[in-house]
């Protein structure tokens, strides 16, 4: 009798990493597979992978040096079968300097234009790209009250900007983001600073995650009810609008009103293509509610009282930001943050519609280079409201 091959396994990360995050599991590939190829998984393994992905939010597959770029978008076939054939950031990389997303100088891979090269440092003749000066963005360029030189020298860091990978205009956010580490610099660990004074040790350049499901659970019953009845309207051309804005020290919102690019000065836009989403999204596998707000890009809120149908609109920007921040800051505690410590070869696959993530660290202070591949395929289906009728 042939020996049955061991199936794919999902192993939750150790308790000291998982804490209360509800995030993080390692994928142990089936015995027959060394490099991940989602197209070669059996139906049973596909199902285990899919359930593990939506239950754990962040999956890690170690030692994947050698995978081809297409693997990053083939993953979307498994988790979002109706995805569109291009990146949620558009068919081409954003290079318009009016858009804050152009600041990292990243570039698509010519043979796989769905995949973006991101990182830190100078790159020449890599994957047919020519020259790149990759910028690892950090709090110093974006926070209203950045860390002092002394604090940085002492190893402190902060989240740059919490977000989902979402254009918030035209292309719907992908369900899954895949990241693959090509080169990882060896630099000293850092200490993540929290507003209440707590400190969490993190690897330099760790990618930070918190769960939208954990965030929803951290709310009071009244806040949950408000969130369930509320739709978030995003700013038109949000990333151009916040180009000169500065963030709060937790990276969750914009600190002050006043530096927004005014609407007449934005690139032309079609109001029909500006996104509005329910505040609470349904996990497509386990049905749990996830609070999902791109806090730096909010513009107005509409809340519908389910018993009367009455609508309340909040459109004063400072108040919109304050309300959203009050909900999201409840989850930003060390016990709720998973910080992925990158190793060369890592393939990290996360539920972009179920978690928030952020860059951390100050890699620009070091000469060693970091190279990652990133892919988030645009979806054809909008996020599903947890409470129908909230949108």
Which range touches Fe ion (CB under 5 A), out of 40-48, 74-82, 157-165, 198-206?
157-165
CA torsion sign, 296 to 297 to 302 to 305? Answer: negative
What separation in angstroms does the CA of 210 have from each of 20, 59, 273, 277, 334?
A: 10, 13, 28, 19, 10
Which lies closer to Fe ion via its Cβ, residue 29 or residue 363?
A: 363
Contacts (CB under 5 A) with Fe ion, residues 290-329: none
**The two structure tokens encoding residue 366:** 């070091």
At its nearest, how many Å lie between Fe ion and the CB of residue 105? 15
At its nearest, how many Å lie between Fe ion and the CB of residue 62? 21
Residue count at the site for Fe ion (CB under 5 A)?
1
Angle at 79 between CA 387 and CA 3, to 5 degrees: 135
At its nearest, how many Å lie between Fe ion and the CB of residue 225? 30
Question: How many Å apart are CA 165 and CA 172, to the nearest integer?
Answer: 10
Which range touches Fe ion (CB under 5 A), out of 17-25, 36-44, 163-171, 231-239?
163-171
* Residues 299-305: contacts with CB under 8 Å, at least 24 apart: 299/233, 299/234, 299/235, 299/236, 299/238, 300/233, 301/230, 301/231, 301/232, 301/233, 302/230, 302/231, 302/233, 302/276, 303/226, 303/229, 303/230, 303/231, 304/229, 304/230, 304/231, 304/389, 304/390, 305/229
Residue 240 sits in the site that holds Fe ion (CB under 5 A): no
Give the helix ranges, DSSP H, for the chain.
Answer: 15-18, 43-56, 70-79, 139-142, 149-153, 212-217, 221-228, 238-241, 317-328
Which lies closer to Fe ion via its Cβ, residue 165 or residue 250?
A: 165
Which lies closer to Fe ion via its Cβ, residue 29 or residue 298?
A: 298
**The two structure tokens encoding residue 355:** 């978690």
Which range touches Fe ion (CB under 5 A), out of 9-17, 31-39, 158-166, 255-263?
158-166
At its nearest, how many Å lie between Fe ion and the CB of residue 39? 25
At its nearest, how many Å lie between Fe ion and the CB of residue 294? 11
Angle at 375 between CA 369 and CA 381, to 5 degrees: 160
At its nearest, how many Å lie between Fe ion and the CB of residue 390? 26
Which residue's CB comes closest to Fe ion?
165
Question: Which of 328, 235, 308 has its CA nearest to residue 274?
Answer: 235
At its nearest, how many Å lie between Fe ion and the CB of residue 220? 29
Which lies closer to Fe ion via its Cβ, residue 7 or residue 90?
A: 90
At its nearest, how many Å lie between Fe ion and the CB of residue 4? 39
Which lies closer to Fe ion via its Cβ, residue 165 or residue 346?
A: 165
Angle at 37 between CA 180 and CA 136, to 5 degrees: 10
Which lies closer to Fe ion via its Cβ, residue 116 or residue 229?
A: 116
Which range touches Fe ion (CB under 5 A), out of 161-169, 202-210, 296-304, 334-342?
161-169
Which lies closer to Fe ion via its Cβ, residue 218 or residue 372?
A: 372
Residue 165 sits in the site that holds Fe ion (CB under 5 A): yes
Which lies closer to Fe ion via its Cβ, residue 165 or residue 329?
A: 165
Question: How many Å apart are CA 215 and CA 332, to the nearest integer?
Answer: 9
**The two structure tokens encoding residue 131:** 């020259």
Which lies closer to Fe ion via its Cβ, residue 301 or residue 349?
A: 349
At its nearest, how many Å lie between Fe ion and the CB of residue 382? 19
Residues lying near Fe ion in the complex (CB under 5 A): 165
């Amino acid at each position: 009798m042939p020996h049955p091959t061991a199936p794919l396994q999902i192993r939750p990360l150790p308790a000291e990493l998982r804490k209360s995050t509800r995030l993080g599991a390692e994928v142990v590939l089936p015995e027959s597979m060394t490099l991940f190829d989602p197209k070669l998984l059996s139906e049973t393994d596909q199902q285990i992978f899919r359930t593990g992905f939506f239950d754990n939010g962040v999956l890690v597959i170690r030692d994947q040096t050698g995978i081809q770029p297409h693997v990053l978008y083939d993953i979307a076939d498994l988790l979002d079968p109706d995805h569109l054939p291009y990146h949620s950031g558009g068919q081409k990389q954003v290079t318009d300097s009016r858009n804050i997303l152009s600041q990292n100088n990243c570039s698509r891979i010519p043979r796989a234009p769905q995949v973006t090269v991101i990182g830190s440092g100078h790159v020449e003749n890599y994957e047919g790209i020519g020259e790149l000066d990759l910028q690892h963005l950090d709090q110093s360029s974006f926070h209203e009250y950045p860390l002092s030189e002394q604090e940085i020298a002492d190893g402190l860091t902060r989240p740059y900007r919490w977000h989902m990978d979402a254009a918030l205009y035209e292309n719907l956010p992908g369900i899954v983001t895949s990241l693959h580490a090509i080169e990882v610099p060896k630099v000293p660990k850092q200490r993540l600073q929290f507003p209440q004074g707590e400190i969490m040790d993190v690897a330099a350049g760790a990618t930070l995650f918190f769960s939208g499901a954990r965030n929803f659970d951290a709310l009071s019953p009244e806040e949950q009810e408000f969130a369930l009845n509320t739709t978030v309207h995003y700013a038109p051309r949000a990333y151009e609008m916040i180009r000169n804005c500065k963030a709060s020290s937790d990276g969750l919102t914009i600190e002050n009103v006043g530096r927004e690019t005014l609407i007449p000065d934005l690139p032309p836009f079609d109001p029909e293509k500006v996104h509005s989403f329910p505040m609470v999204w349904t996990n497509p596998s386990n049905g749990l509610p996830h609070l999902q707000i791109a806090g730096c890009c909010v513009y107005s809120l509409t809340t519908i009282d389910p018993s009367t149908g009455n609508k309340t609109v909040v459109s004063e920007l400072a108040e919109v930001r304050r309300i959203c921040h009050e909900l999201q800051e409840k989850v930003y505690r060390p016990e709720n943050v998973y910080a992925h410590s990158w190793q060369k070869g890592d393939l990290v696959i996360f539920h972009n519609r179920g978690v928030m993530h952020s860059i951390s660290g100050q890699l620009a202070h070091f000469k060693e280079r970091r190279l990652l591949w990133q892919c988030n395929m645009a979806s054809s289906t909008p996020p599903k409201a947890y409470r129908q009728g909230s949108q």
